[in-house]
């Protein structure tokens, strides 16, 4: 089964160094583009394999190289239930890139128990966006575009409903979320019409992280054992998936999961 693999990238181009030399008349060499921070990309297969969204936080290693953090999300069709990432040894990604001027080449390896696929992406920078082409070792190929997302700090409203036991009146959520240093997310939420929760408190601990990943939102309430993932779908809209772990404060809610939508106000 062919897998669309790719990288989400956006580059902020540094300006050229000082003026021309009067004595030599030479032209200064342009500096390399700088790649660091959160990025999201849409990858489109030209081989009939659909689209894939990639959400990642990139770290600059030098003026010519960077890598993606191990919580990179790869979401086939931009559907939260289809997202994978940071699931070693079952699934893992290795993302590295090199820069020369405004040209970028990225190598993205996708490893599973069935084998490894490696995608090679090439592209160019255009302001704060980027586009290019890719091919992989399983025979897939296509195009990709990338943009830099805005901060996830804000108020979100929406509704979710259980896929296990749907309610006639879907629970509604109002959440206030703050994005801090190192993409850490904190916040609270009020929940109406839910038999399981009335409030949620989003934090992190040594095991679970509430974090922004390239424009995607992933938060944990470690007390209530609730996980929420929200993927941007355009404008201020997000596709949402939630899961309730076990144990849960309300025993009947343990193992529940569902979907919904959020709007960032």
Residue 172, classified by CB atoms within 10 Å of its CB into exposed (0-12), middle (13-18) or buried (19+), is: middle
For residue range 209-245, what is the model confidence (pLDDT) as tens digits?
A: 999 999 999 999 999 999 999 999 999 999 999 999 9
Average pLDDT for the chain: 87
Among left, alpha and beta (phi > 0; psi -120 to 50; other), residue 85 is: left
> What's the total number of domains in the chain?
2
Q: What is the pLDDT of residue 52?
A: 92
Which domain-ending residue is among 112, 147, 182? 147
Residue 30 reports pLDDT greater than 80: no
Contact 260, 240 (CB under 8 A): yes
Domain that holds residue 59: 37-147
For residue range 54-92, what is the model confidence (pLDDT) as tens digits?
A: 999 999 999 999 999 988 999 999 999 999 875 655 566
Looking at the structure, tell me whether residues 142 and 166 fall in a common domain. Answer: no
Residue 251 reports pLDDT greater than 60: yes
Does 212 fall in a domain? yes
Looking at the structure, tell me whether residues 250 and 222 fall in a common domain. Answer: yes
């Amino acid at each position: 089964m062919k897998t669309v693999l790719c990288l989400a990238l956006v580059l902020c181009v540094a300006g050229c160094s000082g003026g021309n030399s009067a004595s030599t008349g030479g032209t200064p060499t342009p500096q390399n583009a700088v790649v660091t921070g959160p990025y999201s990309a849409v990858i489109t297969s030209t081989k009939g394999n659909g689209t894939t969204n990639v959400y990642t936080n990139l770290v600059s290693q030098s003026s010519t190289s960077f890598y993606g953090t191990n919580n990179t999300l790869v979401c086939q069709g931009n559907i939260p239930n289809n997202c994978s990432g940071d699931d070693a040894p079952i699934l893992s990604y290795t993302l590295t890139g090199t820069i020369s001027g405004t040209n970028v080449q990225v190598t993205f390896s996708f490893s599973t128990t069935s084998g490894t696929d490696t995608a090679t992406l090439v592209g160019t920078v255009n302001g704060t966006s980027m586009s290019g082409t890719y091919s992989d070792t399983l025979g897939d190929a296509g195009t990709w575009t990338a943009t830099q997302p805005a901060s996830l700090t804000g108020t979100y409203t929406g509704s979710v409903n259980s896929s296990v036991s749907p309610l006639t009146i879907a629970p509604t959520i109002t959440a206030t979320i703050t994005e801090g240093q190192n993409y850490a997310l904190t916040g609270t939420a009020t929940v109406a019409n839910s038999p399981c929760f009335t409030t949620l408190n989003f934090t992190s601990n040594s095991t679970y992280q509430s974090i922004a990943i390239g424009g995607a939102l992933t938060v944990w309430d470690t007390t209530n054992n609730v996980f929420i993932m929200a993927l941007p779908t355009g404008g201020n809209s997000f596709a949402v998936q939630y899961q309730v772990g076990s144990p849960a404060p309300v025993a009947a809610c343990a193992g529940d999961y569902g979907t919904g939508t959020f709007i960032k106000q």
